[in-house]
Amino acid sequence: MTIQNVMGWRPLVVLSIFWLSLAGVRADAPAPTLEQRVAGLEAYLGNGDPTGALKDEKGTIPDGLTTASVGVAGPGHNAWMMTSAALVLFMTLPGLALFYGGLVRSKNVLSILAQCLGITGLVTILWWAVGYSLVFDDGFKSPILGGLGFTFLKGVTSAPNTNYAYWVSQNVFSMYQMMFAIITPALIIGAIAERIKFSALLLFVGAWMFIVYFPLAHMVWGVNGLMNGVWNAGAAIKAVDFAGGTVVHMSSGWSALVLCMILGKRLGFGKEPMPPHSMVLCMVGTGMLWVGWYGFNAGSAVAADGVAANAFMTTTLATGVAAFVWAVAEYFDKGKASVLGFCSGAVAGLVVVTPAAGFIDASGSIIIGVAAGLVPWFFCTRVKRWFGYDDALDTFGVHAVGGTLGAFLTGVLATVDVNANLALNLKDIVGKTLVAEQCKAIALTLVLSVVGTAVIAFGIKVLMGLRPAAEAEREGLDVSDHEEKGYIY
Amino acid sequence: MALKKIEAIIKPFKLEEVKEALTEAGIEGMTATEVKGFGRQKGHTEIYRGSEYTVDFLPKVKLEIVLPEASVQKAITAILKAAKTGKIGDGKIFVLPLDEVIRIRTEDRGEKAV
């Protein structure tokens, strides 16, 4: 039954004319043909450009010619991106909070939760004020930093920003990307757990977003970004990073190493036992991270399309394999497979497959899974001991090592077969010299993270100090920084 | 008659068996506490991503039983029978003299209060 049947058609026509005149549509605006309207809908199915069929031979759209598919979000794509945004938030709250929270001693569990919550609030404010604009606007015409066109999310409406997605509302896209901006600094807290003042941490994160994250995210994902090889034909470094191997994992992991060395070791490190207080919470958090990561990786297609479907599969395969391989490595090393080993392997697999998820096939994801089970395992159990740095919860060993490994392997394993977008600007280098471009991106990310973090951390150390008083650290940060206890018996 | 106190350190999973054996031997009350300690058994090693910790203190259960001297032997026999696995770490039994017992509800003293 149509609406006309219910209401009669006459009032609708009158209403339509009224609205059209209000909207300022010229009476002589050309009407789209049925073919053009169908082509707009078909573009929705393939995540294509809905204005494609409206363009004439010169590629311009005749004045006033449009269809109902232009300037609106596609429901399926939008639904998946809202789901993905919620999934990525779920990775931080409570996934990462529990994963890290279970690994610290019980006197510091709330400090981890508070840091995750505090970062979520702080980054939300920064993202609304200027962060989204600095990453995804192009007003500065700069490959390094975005612009100020979207400050306070002005103009960020339910209409798509076609620089990034034809069918996803820009407000949804902006919230989705905000979840990445939240989890990235939250990853850092693993290396510096149990020994940083809450106030110093928030100040560090606030500065770090401006000096490291916003520029890096623009360089990799901004439409005119320096390292956006897939979409920016003029990118100086033609690298690819599907969901954030450089932006999220390398940046947080290398920054974490620098910050943990400037901060120094925990009191009693190497002398007192510092075992996890709850492997159960840690495992629960790991499972949430894994589930949430589908939003992170498959969502990074910014559409519910075939690229997303492929990323969903590669994420699953790499993670399952990595969790198993890490535990097998433990078994051959020490004779026992541990829950923490399975959990660490799962997270390492998720990290390493992140930059690759939308660019590799099933075989590639298995190779990534094996590498992710072995290389970070080696760094966490061997290299850390050789050098003696107190990377408390292995942010460096898993995220920096895993992110770097993933960025490199993406260059080796990426294939046009699973993602036609790779053929847009990169068809001459994929499978050939892409890995060299990846190495350039790795080097730039590493330098920016290390130098940026060192400058900020030394600045805060001089300004207000980074560490709590020794007795506060002994008593635990839950009571000294938050006046709460995690467990009342 | 003199009163005695038995303190027995046993493996936690033996608690139910020991309780039943003591009840069968006519012992009517006891107190059990979860404790940690070590003797010849020493501890075990825990490994978290390559960080090894030696855990010296192992979980044990401490039973406290107050009883007349005449019942001490059958209580000891019951505990030995129920708690022994023959492996290192089975625990110990201590027998101590006791000055006085008072039941709070009735203010009974001595053997009547046991």
Number of domains within chain B: 1
CB within 8 Å of A203: residues ≥ 6 apart? A460, A463, A464
Q: Which residues of B touch A348 (CB under 8 A)?
A: none
When pLDDT is averaged across residues A14-42 and rounded to a whole number, the result is 72
Please state, rounded to an integer, the average pLDDT across all residues of chain A: 94
| A181 and A301 together in one domain | yes
Are A380 and B55 an interchain contact pair (Cβ–Cβ within 8 Å)?
no
d(CA A277, CA A260): 21
Chosen for mutation from B45, B47, B49 (greatest number of chain A CBs closer than 10 Å) is B49
Task: Note the pLDDT of residue A350.
Answer: 98
User: Distance from B49 to chain A by nearest Cα, in Å?
Assistant: 6
Task: Note the pLDDT of residue A26.
Answer: 53
What is the amino acid identity at position A13? Answer: V
Count Cβ atoms below 10 Å from residue A101 Cβ, excluding itself. 28
Task: Note the pLDDT of residue A29.
Answer: 78
What is the amino acid identity at position B65? Answer: I
Count Cβ atoms below 10 Å from residue A433 Cβ, excluding itself. 13
Among candidate residues A214, A254, A237, A267, the one with its CA nearest the CA of residue A390:
A267
Domain of residue A54 covers: 25-70
Chain B residues in contact with chain A using a Cβ-Cβ cutoff of 8 Å? 46-51, 53-55
Are B55 and A382 an interchain contact pair (Cβ–Cβ within 8 Å)?
no
Task: Note the pLDDT of residue B56.
Answer: 86
A90 and A292 in contact (C-beta within 8 Å)?
yes
pLDDT, tens only, A355-408: 999 999 999 999 999 999 999 999 999 999 999 999 999 999 999 999 999 999
3-state secondary structure A342-398: HHHHHHHHHHHHCCCCCCCCHHHHHHHHHHHHHHHHHHHHHHHHHHCCCCCCCHHHH
Q: Which two tokens stand for residue A367?
A: 């190779």
Task: Note the pLDDT of residue A17.
Answer: 47
Are B53 and A275 an interchain contact pair (Cβ–Cβ within 8 Å)?
yes
A9 and A18 in contact (C-beta within 8 Å)?
no
Task: Note the pLDDT of residue A309.
Answer: 98
The reply to whether A158 falls in a domain is yes
Task: Note the pLDDT of residue A10.
Answer: 53
A403 and A220 in contact (C-beta within 8 Å)?
no
Task: Note the pLDDT of residue A456.
Answer: 98
When pLDDT is averaged across residues B78-102 and rounded to a whole number, the result is 95
Task: Note the pLDDT of residue B72.
Answer: 96
The reply to whether A449 falls in a domain is yes
- Closest-CA residue in chain A for B54? A273
Task: Note the pLDDT of residue B44.
Answer: 85
Are A344 and B49 an interchain contact pair (Cβ–Cβ within 8 Å)?
yes
Q: Which residues of A touch B47 (CB under 8 A)?
A: 334, 336, 338
Cα atoms in the 13 Å half-sphere on the side-chain side of A25: 14
User: Distance from A272 to chain B by nearest Cα, in Å?
Assistant: 9
The reply to whether A434 falls in a domain is yes
Q: Which two tokens stand for residue A324?
A: 């198993």
Q: Checking DSSP bridges between strand B3-10 and strand B58-68, what pairing results, if any? A: antiparallel
When pLDDT is averaged across residues A229-234 and rounded to a whole number, the result is 96
When pLDDT is averaged across residues B30-45 and rounded to a whole number, the result is 90
- Closest-CA residue in chain B for A327? B49
| A63 and A90 together in one domain | no
- What ipTM does this complex have? 0.72
When pLDDT is averaged across residues A219-234 and rounded to a whole number, the result is 97
When pLDDT is averaged across residues A163-177 and rounded to a whole number, the result is 98
Are B47 and A344 an interchain contact pair (Cβ–Cβ within 8 Å)?
no
Task: Note the pLDDT of residue B40.
Answer: 84
Percent of chain A with pLDDT over 70: 94
When pLDDT is averaged across residues A232-253 and rounded to a whole number, the result is 98
CATH number of residue B102's parent domain: 3.30.70.120
Task: Note the pLDDT of residue A276.
Answer: 97
pLDDT, tens only, B46-67: 889 888 888 888 999 999 999 9
* Residue in the block written with tokens 């809202």: A82
pLDDT, tens only, A82-123: 999 999 999 999 999 999 999 999 999 999 999 999 999 999
The reply to whether A272 falls in a domain is yes
Confidence at A441, pLDDT banded by 50, 70, 90: very high
d(CA A119, CA A98): 15
Chosen for mutation from A279, A326, A331, A338 (greatest number of chain B CBs closer than 10 Å) is A338
| A47 and A119 together in one domain | no
Count Cβ atoms below 10 Å from residue A247 Cβ, excluding itself. 28
Q: Among B48, B53, B54, select the one facing A340 at the smallest CB separation.
A: B48
Are B49 and A334 an interchain contact pair (Cβ–Cβ within 8 Å)?
no
Asked whether residue A239 carries a pLDDT value surpassing 80, the answer given is yes
Confidence at B45, pLDDT banded by 50, 70, 90: confident
pLDDT, tens only, A405-440: 999 999 999 999 999 999 999 999 999 999 999 999
Q: H or E element: which one contains B36?
A: strand B31-37
For the CA atoms of A38, A40, A41, A42, the dihedral, rounded to the nearest 10 degrees, stands at 90
Task: Note the pLDDT of residue B55.
Answer: 85
Asked whether residue A28 carries a pLDDT value surpassing 80, the answer given is no
Are A381 and B53 an interchain contact pair (Cβ–Cβ within 8 Å)?
no
Are A274 and B51 an interchain contact pair (Cβ–Cβ within 8 Å)?
yes
Domain of residue B28 covers: 3-113
d(CA A328, CA A187): 26
| A300 and A434 together in one domain | yes
A-B contacts at Cβ under 8 angstroms: 27
Asked whether residue A9 carries a pLDDT value surpassing 80, the answer given is no
| A137 and A41 together in one domain | no
Asked whether residue A251 carries a pLDDT value surpassing 50, the answer given is yes
- Closest-CA residue in chain A for B46? A275
| A144 and A211 together in one domain | yes
| A189 and A315 together in one domain | yes
User: Distance from A308 to chain B by nearest Cα, in Å?
Assistant: 33
Confidence at B114, pLDDT banded by 50, 70, 90: confident
A55 and A22 in contact (C-beta within 8 Å)?
no
Confidence at B8, pLDDT banded by 50, 70, 90: very high
Q: Chain B contact for A273, CB < 8 A?
A: yes
pLDDT, tens only, A57-76: 898 999 999 999 999 999 99
pLDDT, tens only, A453-477: 999 999 999 999 999 999 999 999 9
The last residue of a domain, from among A70, A91, A106 = A70
The last residue of a domain, from among A70, A87, A105 = A70
* CA distances (Å), origin A264, targets A193, A194, A388: 11, 11, 11
Task: Note the pLDDT of residue B50.
Answer: 80
Q: Which residues of B touch A396 (CB under 8 A)?
A: none
d(CA A48, CA A436): 30
Number of H helices, E strands in chain B: 2, 6
Helix (H, G, I), strand (E, B) or coil at B52: strand
Percent of chain B with pLDDT over 70: 100
Asked whether residue A18 carries a pLDDT value surpassing 80, the answer given is no
Task: Note the pLDDT of residue A80.
Answer: 98
Asked whether residue A5 carries a pLDDT value surpassing 50, the answer given is no
d(CA A169, CA A303): 11
Q: Which residues of B touch A339 (CB under 8 A)?
A: none
| A64 and A134 together in one domain | no
What is the amino acid identity at position A389? Answer: Y
Count Cβ atoms below 10 Å from residue A24 Cβ, excluding itself. 7
The reply to whether A47 falls in a domain is yes
Task: Note the pLDDT of residue A489.
Answer: 78
The reply to whether A184 falls in a domain is yes
* CA distances (Å), origin A481, targets A171, A206, A364, A464, B23: 35, 19, 46, 15, 51
Helix (H, G, I), strand (E, B) or coil at B31: strand
| A232 and A362 together in one domain | yes
* CA distances (Å), origin A330, targets A173, A374, A381, A428, B78: 41, 10, 9, 41, 44
Q: Which two tokens stand for residue A309?
A: 């479907």
Are A336 and B47 an interchain contact pair (Cβ–Cβ within 8 Å)?
yes
Asked whether residue A189 carries a pLDDT value surpassing 90, the answer given is yes
Number of domains within chain A: 2
Task: Note the pLDDT of residue A61.
Answer: 94
* CA distances (Å), origin A112, targets A184, A190, A252, A464, B56: 15, 8, 16, 21, 28
The reply to whether A91 falls in a domain is yes
Q: Which residues of A touch B49 (CB under 8 A)?
A: 340-341, 344, 380-381, 394, 397
| A50 and A98 together in one domain | no
| A372 and A273 together in one domain | yes
Give this prediction's pTM. Answer: 0.88
The reply to whether A3 falls in a domain is no
The strands making up B3-10's β-sheet, listed across from edge to edge, are B31-37, B58-68, B3-10, B91-98
Q: Which residues of B touch A274 (CB under 8 A)?
A: 51
When pLDDT is averaged across residues A209-217 and rounded to a whole number, the result is 98
A298 and A311 in contact (C-beta within 8 Å)?
yes
Cα atoms in the 13 Å half-sphere on the side-chain side of A262: 23
| A174 and A55 together in one domain | no
CATH number of residue A433's parent domain: 1.10.3430.10
- Closest-CA residue in chain A for B56? A273
The helix-helix angle for A279-297 and A75-90 (nearest 10°) equals: 150
Task: Note the pLDDT of residue A4.
Answer: 45
Q: Is A50 exposed, middle or buried (0-12, 13-18, 19+ CB in 10 A)?
A: buried
